[in-house]
Amino acid sequence: MSADSGSRDFWRGARSTPAMIIAIAPFGLLFGALAADNGFSVAEATLMSALVYGGASQIVGVELFGQHAAPWMIVLSIFIVNTRSILYSAAAGRLIAHWPSAQKALAFFLLVDLQYAEAEREAEQGRKLTLGWYLGLGLPIYLTWIAEAAVGAAFGRLVTDPHALGLDFLVPIYFLSLVMGFRRRTKWLPVVAASAVASILAYLAVGSPWHVSLGALAGILLAAALPLPRYVEPSRG
Q: How far is the CB of 72 from another protein (least distance, A)?
A: 8
Binding test (CB under 8 A) with another protein, winner from 83, 100, 121, 128 = 83
- Does the footprint of another protein cover residue 226 (CB under 8 A)? yes
- Does the footprint of another protein cover residue 191 (CB under 8 A)? yes
Binding test (CB under 8 A) with another protein, winner from 17, 58, 130, 144 = 58
- Does the footprint of another protein cover residue 195 (CB under 8 A)? yes
**Residue 39 or 100 having the CB closest to another protein:** 39
Binding test (CB under 8 A) with another protein, winner from 93, 99, 155, 159 = 93
Per CB under 8 A, contacts with another protein among 169-188 are 169-183, 185-188
Binding test (CB under 8 A) with another protein, winner from 52, 123, 147, 154 = 52
Could you tell me the CA-to-CA distances from 125 to 9, 87, 186 in Å, in that order? 15, 21, 24
